[in-house]
Structure formats: structure tokens, C-alpha cells
Amino acid sequence: MKIWSVSRRKMEEAIANRNFDDLRELFKAEKKTVKDDEFVIVKIDGLLKKRGYRVMEVPSEQKEEFARLHFNFVMNCTKLGYCSKSTPILTLQDILEVSSIEECKHLFGLVEENMNEFKQPGFIETYQNIILRLCNDLLRRLSRTAETSFCGRIMFFLSRFLPLTEKSGVNFMGHFNTLNITTFEENEPTAESLLAATSSHHAATPSGAAAGAEEDMETGEIEEEAAKEIIVTPEMYRQFWSLQKFMSNPNLLYEKEKFVVFKKDLTAVLSLMTANKLEKFAAEDESEVAESRKKINNDVFFTKYLTSPKLLALQLNDSSFRRNFLIQTIIIFQYLNAESRFKPPAKKMVLNEEQSKFVHDYEDKCYRLLSDTMPRGTAFVAGLKRIMQRETEWNQWKNSNCPDLSEKADKGAMQMYKKRQRVPFNPNNLDLGTPELTKLWTYEPDVLKACKSDKRKFIPTLADFIRDPLDEMDPEQQVEEQYKSINEVSFQWRAARLLMHKAPGYVSKTEPKADPTTNMRDFLERTMYNTGKTIDEFKSGIEERERRDAEKRAASGEKKEAEARKKVEESLKRKLDTNTKSTTIAVSSPNPYTDPPLTDENLRQLATDLSKFSKKLAKLVGIDEESLQKTSSSEEDRCYRILKEWAERNGKSGRSLLNLLIADLDVIEVATATMKKIHETST
């Protein structure tokens, strides 16, 4: 007995110090003494568990570190065969049972970190049920509302650890949590009084009270500027929260009377949401609001909303609240239409045609409301539809009695990769890896010469390129402006590049005061036209076109000049006829019966008035104006010399001078006024 206690004490010391060498020697010595391996393993199992309880006696801040060291030591003992395979996870289970909730949150990391070890072929059979029991014990200790995040970690771990065909986590019979009851003010007078108090408070609050509103905001609220107030009646309050009993037990909706109530209440609620849509955020504000909501959701999370009548109007203005309600409704609609083998056949859980139409129409309406709910409503709806499609597939899997999905995998043996037969190198047979590359390289004996071949020149000649545009510029072709190729941006780009390289007049010296070219279309048209004059193929055609245009312009000019002269003569004739009938001597125009000669003084007076038309006057009279510029310094002197020279050649008849100047309306108007003054002076 004394030897037994000494051996036990030495084992405890080796385990406490995590000394594998000492534990190995003691394990061998114990086997020789007892001659029973199972007895020694059971003894070490008990000592390891006992040490696990001792570890939990250290201060809280050191528990995780000591527990991690002890667990790793036990795992190594298991791999060396010093203890049972179940000892590590049982030790960890004992540690979690004697730890607080806050300590379990940190210690559960050991379970998550060693998940791959637990799934090894030698451990999975032993550990699966123990880990499932460990997680269920933890979930029973936790509050689903206060410890939601930790519960989610445990459930997520189980979903990764258990095989896909494991049915322990599947709601195989399709049961609903009917114990989830939503309590609210069902007494209508009470709800009405609370809503009335809320309305009066909003009405009595002045607009200036917004300065202190920031202090009254509770944690988790989002300040919304100018939020549209939603009017909630006591009936609407009752209708909204009474829908939750159908959400927790959708089988009630297969009863005709209950479905009528559900239809009425849901129609009223969705009509209220449709009439009071949330305002869309601007592009800049949407990202800011999403970040603020994300920050708030990370700080505070509630699994159940408050049901006070005072809060419903504010809750309906919250996009998260609306989304949660609409998603609830969509899930219920999917269940009502889904085929499930676990719906009791005796109750005839099937919707009639009218009910099915209502479900289908209002499901689309819920999706539209979700799409209009900011932020990122369209993207949210797209993600939700994918999730609901996956739920439909999982429902079909459950209806098929949860078959093993691995059975559908390809069970054929994987074929070994066949190595391609190596081709011996032949310097006379060039192979660049692919037939096309080899063909390209062996196209010509001299590759550089082939690249310079005329066949490789794909740039059109200048004559071929401008042939069609020049034809389109010819008025005789009668091409409408909108159909001309010069209007296309791509053609302008190609024309600019080609003309820049080959046209001599593309880049030309311009006058310093000339306006820069802003119209690319006109510039290219002018450049192609001038370039065509330098090409023999188009030179004769362009000259012929210019000759025709000049003849047309000359004919048009002569016609206009004749019409203008005729109009002026008719005007003068009317004035002369009027003056002859008057009792006084006509002073508005030269006397048609007398034509006194123009004196030098008259010519000087005409030159003074016509000084600004010296160039036009020289052109009308037929005198070279440039020769006069060299001898005369002023415009008036040049005009006088022009009139003097004309008078010496043609006589000094004022009527002849007016007939000559009638070709230019501006000049004849000034000359007529001057002649009028001359006649007034002479009379």
C-alpha cells in the first residue's frame, strides 16, 4: 500500500510538472508491477482529471493559460498511449463545467482551435457524442437573449465539426418554437391612452428643443433628420403585433378563419409601410449611414423588440425593423407554399387557389418594399433571394430523408495522368510549341523581309482614302449633310492621322492674329480638298468644279447687281416723278432734265463723304487703288483723285457718276445724299 501511494504521488508530480520523461518511466514501472495496461491507463486518467480541477483554482486571468498547457499535455499523453482517447475532451468538459460564463467564452477557444484534431480518424468516433453533449450543456447554461454571440459561436462550431449527414442538428420533424410568445398591450383603452400621450408629447415639443435631443438619445438609436412621422392608431398597433403569433406557429394559417384574420392585418400593415416609404439617402450619405449602423450593431444587439405603443411609430421609421418584419413574412409565405412530408395529412395543410394567389402577390410586394428600403435595398433583395433558394433546396433534402450527399459524388477511381510521349529533338524540324506559332515563324525564310513586304502594309493610300469624301463634297453628287462620312468621329480620327503623315498642308504656318481651328470637321474637309489639288487624279476634276462654281457665283452676282440697280433706278424714278409734280423745285434727287457739270468743289465734297469707301470706289471706277496709296496719304485725298481722274475721262456729269455707283448700295446711298446737298446749294 505504501509503494502504491509513493507511485501515485510521483505520477501526480510528473503530471503537475508536465514531465513526459518521468511519466514514461513511472508508466513502464507500473505496468511491470500490476501487469495490467488498462488498470494503469485508468489510474492516469483519474490523475489527469484531478489535475484539471486543480488548474481551475488559479486566478481568473491565468485560467486560460494553465488550461491550455494542461490540455496540450493531456493530448500528447493520449497520442503516446498513456491515457484513454476520451480523456482530453472529458478533462476539457470538466473544466468548462466548473467555470463561469465569462471564463467559458475564453476557454471554448480550445475546442475551436483543436477541431481538426478531433476530426481525425482515430478520434472522431469517440469525440463526436462527447463534444455534442459538451456543447448542449453549454447552450443550456446560456441565455439566448443575453449571450446571443456565444450561442452563435457554439452553433457555428457544431455546424463545422459534425458531418453533413448528422441529423442531431436538423429540425427533422419541422417543429416550431410555439413558446416564443410576444406580449403586447392587448387592452385597447390602455394602448389608445399611451398612443394619445405620445401624440400630445410630439405636438407640444417645440422645434427649438432639438438642441437637447442629442442628450436624450438612447444607446442604439440613429438620429434621422426630418424623419417623416407615421400615424399609428390603436387598431394598427394591435394588428401589427398580433401577427407575431402566426409567425411563431404558421400552421395556424391553414385554418380558414385564422387566415382571414392574418390577411386583413397583414394587408393593413403593408399598406401603411407602402404609404410611408423611408426616404432614400444620397450617394455620399448612404455609405456613412451604413457605417454608423454597422458600428451600432457591433455594440448592441437585441433578439426581441420592445412592444410599447409609444415606440411603434419610431420602429416603423427604422430600416432594420422593417427588414426584419418583411423577412419574417417572406419566410412564412415560403413555408405555406412548400411541400413538406412532415405536415400532418389529417389537417389538410394545403392552401386553396385564392389563398395561394394572395401569398404570391404579397410575397412580391414584400420584396418590392425591401428593395425600396435603404441602404442598398436592391443588393439586399438579391442576397435574400439566394438565401431563400438555398432554403428550398435544404427543404427538398429533408423531404428525401436527408440522404448522404457524398453518395452522389463520382465514385470512379481517379485516372492517373498520362505523360505525353517525348519527341526527340530534330534541328531540321522547327517546333515552337503550337502549330500556329510554328506556321507563323516558317511563313518566309527571311522573317524580317516578310515583315517589310507590301502585303503587310494595311494603311490605305492618300488617294484611296480621300476619294469618297471629295465626291461627297461635290454639289452635283447631291449627298445630304447627315450622310457624309466626315461626320463620323472614327473617320475624323483616321483622317487626321493619315493627313498628318502624308498631306503637305496639314501643318501650315498661320497668321499671328488668325483664330485657332476649333471645328475639326471643317478643318479636315478643307485639308482634304487642298490635298486633292496636288494629286493628278483629282486635280482636273477640282479645277473643273471650281470653274463651274465661279461661273455660278459670277452669274449670281450679276443677277443680284442687276436687281439692285433696277431697284435703285425705280426708287430714284419715283422720287423724280414726285418732285416734278410738286410746286417747288425738287431737292431730293438730281434734276432729270438738267445735269449741271460737277465742279472741283463738288468733287471735293463727294470725296469727303465717300472717304470710308475708297477701296469700293476705286473698284467701281476701275482705277488701281494700290498705286494711289503710294502717292496719297489720306483716304479723302485718294477718293478725290479717283473722282477727279474719272471726271477727266468721262466728263463731269453727276448723273453718269450716280449710274456708275449704283452697283454698290452703300456707296450710292451716300453719293445720293451728297448730290442732294449739292443741288440744294446750287438752287
- pLDDT tens digits for range 350-386: 888 899 999 999 999 999 999 988 888 899 999 999 9
What are the C-alpha distances in Å from 622 to residues 617, 629, 661? 8, 15, 11
Q: Which grid cell sits at 181? A: 410568445
Per-residue pLDDT at 582 exceeds 70: no
Question: Half-sphere exposure of 197 toward its Cβ, with a 13 Å CA cutoff?
Answer: 10
Q: What are phi and psi of 197, to 5 degrees?
A: -65, -40
Query: What is the Cα–Cα distance from 154 to 144, expressed in whole angstroms?
Result: 12
Query: What is the Cα–Cα distance from 283 to 287, expressed in whole angstroms?
Result: 7
**Averaged pLDDT, 98-119:** 87
Residue 586: predicted pLDDT: 38
Residue 590: predicted pLDDT: 44
Give the CA angle between residues 175, 179, 180 to the nearest 5°: 100
SS3 18: coil
Per-residue pLDDT at 246 exceeds 80: yes
- Least confident window among 266-275, 363-372, 466-475: 466-475
Per-residue pLDDT at 616 exceeds 50: yes
Give per-residue pLDDT as tens, 122-161. Answer: 778 888 888 888 898 998 888 877 888 889 899 888 888 8
Residue 262: predicted pLDDT: 92
Q: What percent of the chain has pLDDT over 90?
A: 7
The mean predicted confidence, pLDDT, of the chain is 76
**Contact call for residues 523 and 517 (beta carbons, < 8 A):** yes
When pLDDT is cut at 50, 70 and 90, the band that residue 431 belongs to is confident
- Least confident window among 221-225, 371-375, 585-589: 585-589
When pLDDT is cut at 50, 70 and 90, the band that residue 663 belongs to is low
pTM, entire model: 0.46
The better pLDDT of the pair 24, 322 is held by: 322
When pLDDT is cut at 50, 70 and 90, the band that residue 52 belongs to is confident
Residue 282: predicted pLDDT: 54
Query: What is the Cα–Cα distance from 644 to 509, expressed in whole angstroms?
Result: 42
Query: What is the Cα–Cα distance from 393 to 635, expressed in whole angstroms?
Result: 100
Residue 219: predicted pLDDT: 42
Per-residue pLDDT at 580 exceeds 70: no
Residue 610 CB contacts under 8 Å (≥ 6 apart), including other chains: 617, 639, 643, 667, 670, 671, 674
| Dihedral sign, Cα of residue 82, residue 88, residue 93, residue 96 | positive
- Dihedral, CA atoms, 141, 145, 148, 150, nearest 10 degrees? -20
Per-residue pLDDT at 484 exceeds 80: yes
Per-residue pLDDT at 462 exceeds 80: yes
**Averaged pLDDT, 51-61:** 79
- Least confident window among 600-604, 623-627, 670-674: 623-627
517 Rama sector, left if φ>0, alpha if ψ -120 to 50, beta otherwise = beta
Residue 365: predicted pLDDT: 92
When pLDDT is cut at 50, 70 and 90, the band that residue 557 belongs to is low
Residue 326: predicted pLDDT: 93
Query: What is the Cα–Cα distance from 556 to 549, expressed in whole angstroms?
Result: 10
Instruction: Give pairs for 111-114: CB < 8 Å, separation 24+.
Output: 111/157, 112/153, 112/157, 114/71, 114/75
- Burial (CB < 10 A; 0-12, 13-18, 19+), residue 107, is buried
- Least confident window among 91-95, 346-350, 640-644: 346-350
- Burial (CB < 10 A; 0-12, 13-18, 19+), residue 644, is middle
Query: What is the Cα–Cα distance from 1 to 655, expressed in whole angstroms?
Result: 161
Query: What is the Cα–Cα distance from 216 to 205, expressed in whole angstroms?
Result: 13
Q: Which helix (H) or strand (E) holds 427?
A: none
The better pLDDT of the pair 574, 77 is held by: 77
**Averaged pLDDT, 238-250:** 88
Residue 465: predicted pLDDT: 86
Residue 357: predicted pLDDT: 92
Per-residue pLDDT at 644 exceeds 50: yes
**Averaged pLDDT, 540-551:** 81
Amino acid identity of residue 219, one-letter, is T
When pLDDT is cut at 50, 70 and 90, the band that residue 264 belongs to is very high
**Averaged pLDDT, 481-497:** 87
**Contact call for residues 243 and 265 (beta carbons, < 8 A):** yes
Residue 73: predicted pLDDT: 83
Q: What are phi and psi of 404, to 5 degrees?
A: -70, 115
Residue 596: predicted pLDDT: 65
Per-residue pLDDT at 463 exceeds 50: yes
**Contact call for residues 227 and 317 (beta carbons, < 8 A):** yes
**Averaged pLDDT, 250-273:** 90
Give per-residue pLDDT as tens, 155-164. Answer: 888 888 887 7
Residue 214: predicted pLDDT: 43
**Averaged pLDDT, 477-506:** 84
Give per-residue pLDDT as tens, 178-212. Answer: 877 888 887 766 656 666 655 555 554 444 433 44
In angstroms, how far is the first alpha carbon of the chain from the final one? 168
The better pLDDT of the pair 289, 20 is held by: 20
Q: What percent of the chain has pLDDT over 70?
A: 76
- Least confident window among 12-26, 209-223, 283-297, 336-350: 209-223
Residue 226: predicted pLDDT: 46
Give per-residue pLDDT as tens, 492-511. Answer: 888 888 888 877 766 665 55
SS3 364: helix
Residue 631: predicted pLDDT: 61
**Averaged pLDDT, 406-418:** 71
**Averaged pLDDT, 27-52:** 76
